[in-house]
Amino acid sequence: MVPTIFYAASAAAAAALLMLLLPAARKVRTAGTVLGLASLAWILVTIVRAIPVTDSALGNVGMTVLCAFISVAAAVRVITHHRPVYSALYFVLVVISGAALFVLLSAEFVAFSLVIVYAGAILITYLFVLMLAQQSPSETGGADAVEYDRVAREPAAAVTCGFVLLAVLGSVIFASPRSAADASADQVAAVERAWADLGRMPDALLERARRTDPQVRMVVPRSNGAWIETQRDFTAVVSVQRVDSDIASDLVLSPAMLPENTARVGMALVTRFPVSLELAGVILLMAMLGAVVLARRQSELADDERRALAGLDRLAGSEASPARSRG
């Protein structure tokens, strides 16, 4: 069964986006903004009301809704603003609220690298290129933006395509919810994987064992060769030697001792995906070389032009002979 209410809200959002994209009067744009915010709220409320929220998760859901409003509104501004520089700045807002969503989904490391790489590096590159290539407003006459930034290309067709895609995505996302059995099987497998990751981090394992019991001297492998053994109630058992004896005994680690997200991402990066990591490095190197090749001047310069570019002429003008002999 497909929720028609979701489709209706998507259609309202599409109409709102179309009103914002068309070159229209201020009144129409205000109406589009109101309709857009209302339909976004409609979509989010539909989802939240369909799935009961436990009290402990209420804060996270509220923050998610807030970030949803910020990021979607900023994304709409990115594609509707007439001035490219403001579009880029609104994209920074999308990135930051996206990073907040990542933190809410407990992906802290990726959230921080998102802010550093996107807001810090990629967006600065975009701003540089915009400032290199953009005509200043005075050149184009008046305070208004240039024509190709003001007038949208085929907005009705684009919005129709986009929101048909949204309806299809929505029906796929919400059509087949996973069963309770699947969810708890996922849960058990996930906790087992997390404990196995901790077993591959000797220092973290020893530190956690000491935090549980300060008398621990060292952690030793268990009789079956593994460092750690998961139990049914999501705790884990390790073998330890305490300071007062050489005989190994069992120590139970509580689920609060599970490894942190960042440690597990690093572990997965170097143990499960080492080849991809190397390939990512190759891609970055290739991009760097490509950018250098693209940015090189295409025309051959004459000797005196090259001197002028290097600023040697000015040097030669001020202190005549030494600069010339050095050059």
Partner 1 sequence: MNAFLAPVSSAIASVSTALEGMGQAFSAASEAQIALSLAISALLFVIGLVGFMVRRNMIIMFLCTELMFQGAALAMITVARMHMDVSGQVFVIFILTVAAAEAALALGLVVLLHRRRETLSAEVWSDLGEA
The token pair that represents 134 in the structure block: 């953009």
The nearest distance, CB 245 to partner 1, in angstroms, is: 30
Of 57 and 320, nearer to partner 1 (C-beta) is: 57
Strands (E), 21-165: none
The nearest distance, CB 79 to partner 1, in angstroms, is: 3
Give just the sign of the alpha carbon dihedral 139, 143, 147, 148: positive
Of 64 and 241, nearer to partner 1 (C-beta) is: 64
Give the C-alpha separation, 127 to 121, whole Å: 10
The nearest distance, CB 246 to partner 1, in angstroms, is: 32
The nearest distance, CB 4 to partner 1, in angstroms, is: 9
The nearest distance, CB 306 to partner 1, in angstroms, is: 19
Of 153 and 326, nearer to partner 1 (C-beta) is: 153
Give the C-alpha separation, 160 to 223, whole Å: 63
Contact 178, 185 (CB under 8 A): no
In which element (H, E) is residue 218 found? strand 216-220
Of 34 and 220, nearer to partner 1 (C-beta) is: 34
Of 186 and 313, nearer to partner 1 (C-beta) is: 186
Of 162 and 210, nearer to partner 1 (C-beta) is: 162
SS3 of 252-307: EECHHHCCCHHHHHHHHHHHCCHHHHHHHHHHHHHHHHHHHHHHCCCCCCCHHHHH
Contact 238, 251 (CB under 8 A): yes
Contact 127, 85 (CB under 8 A): yes
The nearest distance, CB 72 to partner 1, in angstroms, is: 5
Alpha helix ranges (H) inside 81-154: 84-104, 108-114, 123-133, 137-140, 147-150
The nearest distance, CB 106 to partner 1, in angstroms, is: 6
Of 149 and 241, nearer to partner 1 (C-beta) is: 149
The token pair that represents 39 in the structure block: 């339909």
Cβ neighbours for 291, distance < 8 A, ≥ 6 positions apart: none
